[in-house]
Copies of this chain bind each other. A is one copy, B any other.
Amino acid sequence: MTSAELNSYLDDSRELAMREIREIIPREGRCHRVLYDLMFDYPLRPAKALRPALCVATCRALGGTVESVGKSAAIVELYHNAFLIHDDVEDGSENRRDGPTLHRVHGTPIAVNVGDAMLALALEPLLDNMRVIGMGRALRVLQIVARMARESAEGQALELDWIRNRQWQLTDTDYLRMVYKKTSWYTFITPVLIGATVAGASPERSRVLRKFAALLGIAFQIQDDVLNLVGESGAYGKEIAGDLWEGKHTLIVMHMMRTAGRQERTRARRILAKARPHAPERASHGAHTHVAETLQALERRGEIGPGARRAIEDALERSGGPDPGNVKTEGEVRYLLELIRCCGSIEHARSVSRGFALKARSILSRAEWIEPSVHRDFLESLIGYVIDRDR
Q: Is A263 engaged at the interface, CB distance under 8 Å to the other chain?
A: no
Chief secondary structure at chain A's binding surface: helix
In the complex, per-residue mask of A1-45: 1 if CB is within 8 Å of any chain B CB, else 0: 000000000000000000000000000001100110000000000
Partner of A91, one of B109, B290, B298: B109
Q: Is the CB of A318 within 8 A of B298?
A: no
Q: Is A124 engaged at the interface, CB distance under 8 Å to the other chain?
A: yes
Which positions 284-304 of chain A face chain B at CB distance < 8 Å?
Answer: 284, 286-291, 293-295, 297-298, 303-304
Known: A112-B112, A127-B146. A286 touches B319 (CB 8 A): yes
Q: Is A320 engaged at the interface, CB distance under 8 Å to the other chain?
A: yes
CB distance from A180 to the nearest CB of B (A): 12
Q: Is the CB of B305 within 8 A of A303?
A: yes
* Chain A interfacial residues counted at CB < 8 A: 75
Q: Is the CB of A320 within 8 A of B154?
A: no
Q: Is the CB of A280 within 8 A of B319?
A: yes
Among A34, A119, A288: residue with most chain B CB under 10 A: A34
Chain B residues closer than 8 Å to A119, beta-carbon distance = 116, 119, 149
Q: Is A117 engaged at the interface, CB distance under 8 Å to the other chain?
A: yes
Partner of A150, one of B109, B112, B120, B314: B120
Closest 7 A/B residue pairs (Cβ): A120-B149, A284-B284, A117-B153, A287-B319, A123-B146, A90-B109, A35-B157
| 11 residue pairs bridging A and B, Cβ less than 8 Å apart | A35-B154, A89-B108, A106-B164, A112-B112, A113-B157, A282-B320, A286-B320, A287-B321, A290-B316, A304-B304, A312-B312
